[in-house]
Chain A
Amino acid sequence: MISALASLDVGAVEVFAQARSGWSGFFTLATLVATVAAAIRLATPYLVAAVGESVGQRSGVLNLGVDGVMLLGAFGAYYTTVQTGQPWYGLLVGLGIGMVMGLLYAFITVTLHAEQGISGIGIYLFGLGFSDLLFRQLVGAPRPILGFDGLFDFTVPEGRLEIAYPDLYNHSLVIYLAFLLVPAVTLLVNRTTFGLNIRAVGETPQAADSLGVSVARTRYGTIIIGNTLAGAAGAVLALEKGIFIQNMTNGMGFIAVALVYFGAWRPLGVLAGSLLFSLVTAAVLQWKTLGILSGAAAQLTEMAPAAVTIIALVVVTHRIGAPAALTRPFRRGAEH
């Protein structure tokens, strides 16, 4: 399963595989540009999921179920596209599934005050099992679809502008939309009344409550936004790869949660984290293609992003604090 996924990833960069191999092959302009372009594509699901998760965490809710919701969104998008042939519908279904899961998670954690870390694991297991179950019952054998491949591709207009390395800019429109989430969410959190409520509820829910801000309603809103984006991230993943495989996220959702910490709860920081993370991943893939890394050693390098994330967590937690009310259910009149 993992090797199947790895070969899909390699598919993203194999076009750029060079005749030359080894380090000299890697340090050519064309290969470096191809690596960055692949990193941008690989970053998209992480970015979408992590930006969504950051909104929830700013309001004090940790959602560990991201990976499960991504898997459900991925299957929904894949299946819809198999049935209708319309990737846009698939994306919409992914969003819808995320929204429903958000409502469910909000009910569990806000209304029922369930422990967030553990209930998130429950959601993860449910998504992991249920997406696999649906796939086996409704589809059976993996059947590739024509997802976003070639659809709504943005290409730099030829001749009108002289732009160096067009590969860096030629992506699906969906990727552009994903990157637009960063300024959009930054504005939402920093420049709107809802955003002010989010931050107030995440830091001192008691004070926010006494000023008439509904903690429950604000958190319902942020959780639904976060999960909708998680579903969208899954949909983007499935439609980019044009396939669904059991556990195809392979822990991406958990990494997205860590990226929120890495990015110090700011969308811009999350963007930086996602890009760094996928740049390392893309470079490792490129090294594999060029034969710099082979077999067992590649596995060793692939754990670098997770290991780096742990180190980053140590540094970030020391310097910037989490939202004060993170993981704390709010009850009126209670201390915490």
Chain B
Amino acid sequence: MAGAVSADTRISDWVVQRVVRRVMGPAVPLAATVAALLVGAAMVWGFGGDPVEGYRAMFTGAFGGIKEFADTTVKATPLLLVGVGICIAFRASVINIGGEGQIIAGALLSTVVVLAVPDLPRGVLLPLALIAGAVGGACMGFIPGVLKAYANVNEILSTIMLNIVAGYMMQYLLLGPMIDKAAVEAGNHIAQTKRLSPNSDLPILLGDTQMNLGIVIGAAVAVAVFFLLWRTSLGYEIRAVGGSRDASRYAGMRVERRIVQALTLSGMMSGLGGAVLVFSSVAHRLSVESGPAGFTQLAGFNGIVAALFGGLHPLWTVPAAILFGGLLVGANALQRAVQVATPLVVALSGLVVVFVVSSDRAVRWARSVVERFDAAAGSDDDRTDRAAEATGAAGGAEEGGP
């Protein structure tokens, strides 16, 4: 069979290319999530709860009704915006771990703007505030971008350090210059601003729920980033630089600029997410009372999970973020139903990351083990090779273009 090029092999090639690749794209992250949920079930069982009951409660708590789904979209919005930004950075092979800091920078700058000009009409103030958020995040992404492109500083480390810097900066500003002065005079020394101008509140979309314009903004940004990455020359070059820096340089691309742009754009999305977090918050104020991570709800990290789950594709990141938002919302229901605390979901999202990143090779590794048995049996390894190759290609995210 190995040498014979027949219609049969061409069809099987076509199947591998068109069907297996398309299906394997979403299948790998899905399998990783199922695996993580299985580990989660074992944990629930280990703590003496009924996993089936727990997951049922989790699902109904997240998607069981309009109010539940509305809460899920609220939780999903920052994950989506950060995740879409992560798509840009990771596509350029830039590992942006600075989502937390970029969210904080966006939240701070947009809050400053709203505090400075609170009386502008809503139609002006809200867009202005969101733009300020994007600019704040972009600045926070620009710094590690420049450091990486021109000083060869590892972006993972610089973004992590900037997360810490941003966290303390936020605590300083909210305990100091930006604190709610009226509350301090009343004796409440809480690290938060006053209630921000109502003109900056994100409009509620659905009567009695918390669902707000944020999720629409997130989806629109996802579409925009899809066009940026696959329909513009900038996006093409960002992806080319991600593929091979040397080859891109040889082709005449300005590699350093693309790296800075990728990190800046990535930070811009997270910053927008930070602004949305502030203006959609129930208290309508920026608060760091429960620490910087309490404000960001770890969206800077969980956005990475959503992006990986979406195969680093902006459009796939939308359902991925909604699913993970659902996990976060459903965790409370799970806790009530089987008395297993909500941090379970944080542990599970970590496992999803681990499984997704290692799944590509895990498939290969499992195959190589099988192959060893096959080789002993003297079977045709040309086909298995090709199948392994196709699986490997599909294990990465599938291409967005037709």
B176 x A117 contact (CB < 8 A):
no
Tell me whether A117 and B175 are in contact (CB under 8 A): no
Chain B residues closer than 8 Å to A137, beta-carbon distance: 47, 340-341
Contact (Cβ within 8 A) B168 A126? no
Q: Are B354 and A122 in contact (CB under 8 A)?
A: yes
Given pairs A111-B361, A128-B347, 11 additional interface contacts (CB within 8 A): A108-B354, A108-B357, A114-B358, A125-B298, A126-B354, A247-B293, A261-B154, A261-B157, A295-B175, A299-B176, A314-B147
| Given A1-B291, A68-B350, A132-B341, A306 contacting B161 (CB threshold 8 A) | yes
For B151, the chain A residues whose CB sits under 8 A away are 314, 317-318
Smallest CB-CB A-B distances: 4 pairs: A129-B346, A122-B353, A125-B350, A126-B350
Q: Which chain A positions have C-beta within 8 A of B291?
A: 1-2
In the bound assembly, the distance between CA atoms of A255 and B164 in angstroms comes to 9
The interface residues of chain B lying within 8 Å CB-to-CB of A275 are: none
Bound complex: CA A99 to CA B51 (Å): 29
Residues of A within 8 A of B305 (CB): 125
B6 at the interface (CB under 8 A from A): no
> Does the CB pair B172–A136 fall under 8 Å?
no
Chain A neighbourhood of B341, CB < 8 A? 132-133, 136-137
Q: Of A111, A299, A317, which one neighbours B154 at CB under 8 angstroms? A: A317
User: A310 contacts the other chain (Cβ, under 8 Å)?
Assistant: yes
Q: Are B347 and A112 in contact, with the CB atoms below 8 A? A: no
Residues of A within 8 A of B344 (CB): 129, 133
List A residues 98-147 near B (Cβ within 8 Å): 108, 111-115, 117-119, 121-130, 132-133, 136-137
Which of B152, B160, B304 has the largest count of A CB atoms less than 10 A from its CB? Answer: B160
Which residues of B are found within 8 Å of A149, using beta-carbon distances? Answer: none
24 interchain pairs (CB within 8 A)?
A1-B294, A2-B291, A108-B357, A112-B362, A115-B357, A117-B156, A122-B353, A122-B357, A125-B347, A125-B349, A126-B347, A127-B350, A128-B343, A129-B344, A132-B341, A132-B346, A137-B340, A258-B161, A296-B176, A296-B177, A297-B176, A303-B165, A303-B167, A310-B147
Taking a contact as CB atoms under 8 Å apart, the answer to whether A122 and B152 are in contact is no
A-B contact count (CB 8 A): 170
Q: How far is A123 from B301 in the complex, measured between Cα atoms in Å?
A: 12
**Interfacial chain A residues near B365, Cβ < 8 Å:** 111-112
Q: Could you tell me if B158 and A313 are in contact, using CB atoms closer than 8 angstroms?
A: yes
CA distance A226 to B294 in the complex (A): 30
Nearest B residue to A298 by beta-carbon distance? B172
Q: Which residue of B lies closest to A260 (CB)?
A: B157
Kindly list chain B residues whose C-beta atoms are within 8 Å of the C-beta of A129. Answer: 343-350
Contact B361 A121 (CB under 8 A): no
* Complex Cα gap A124–B100 (Å): 14
Q: Are A297 and B172 in contact (CB under 8 A)?
A: yes
Q: Within the complex, what minimum Cβ distance (angstroms) separates A132 from chain B?
A: 4
Q: Smallest distance from the beta carbon of B276 to chain A beta carbons, Å? A: 22
How far in angstroms is the closest Cβ of chain B from A305? 8
Q: Does A166 contact B (CB under 8 A)?
A: no
Residue of B nearest to A130 (CB): B347
**Contact partners of A122 in chain B: CB under 8 A:** 350-354, 357
Which residues of B are in contact with A by a Cβ distance under 8 Å?
43, 47, 95, 97, 147, 151-154, 156-158, 160-165, 167-169, 171-173, 175-177, 179, 290-291, 293-294, 298, 301-302, 304-305, 308, 340-341, 343-354, 357-358, 361-362, 365
Tell me if A302 and B347 are in contact (CB < 8 A).
Answer: no
* Docked pose: A146 CA to B173 CA in angstroms: 37
Say if the beta carbon of A86 comes within 8 Å of chain B.
Answer: no
Contact B343 A300, beta carbon cutoff 8 Å: no
Given A247-B293, A307-B165, does the pair A125, B176 have CB atoms closer than 8 Å? Answer: no
- Chain A residues with CB under 8 Å of B153's CB are 310, 313-314, 317
Q: Which of A241-266 contact B (CB under 8 A)?
A: 246-247, 251, 254-255, 257-258, 261
A303 in contact with B164 given A130-B347, A137-B47, A257-B157 (CB within 8 Å)? yes
CB distance B158 to A121 under 8 Å?
no
Task: Find chain B residues with CB under 8 A from A290 CB.
Answer: none
Residues of chain A within 8 A (CB-CB) of B171 are 2, 296, 299
Interface presence of A64 (CB below 8 A): yes
Smallest CB gap from A261: residue in B: B157
Q: Complex: how many Å from CA A246 to CA B341? A: 13
Q: In the bound complex, do residue B350 and residue A128 qualify as a contact, i.e. CB atoms below 8 Å apart?
A: yes
Identify which of A137, A261, A300, A302 gathers the most chain B CB atoms within 10 Å of its CB. A137
Indicate if the CB atoms of A133 and B43 lie closer than 8 Å: yes
**Residues 1-52 of A contacting B (Cβ, < 8 Å):** 1-2
Which residue of chain B has the shortest Cβ distance to A258 in the bound complex?
B157
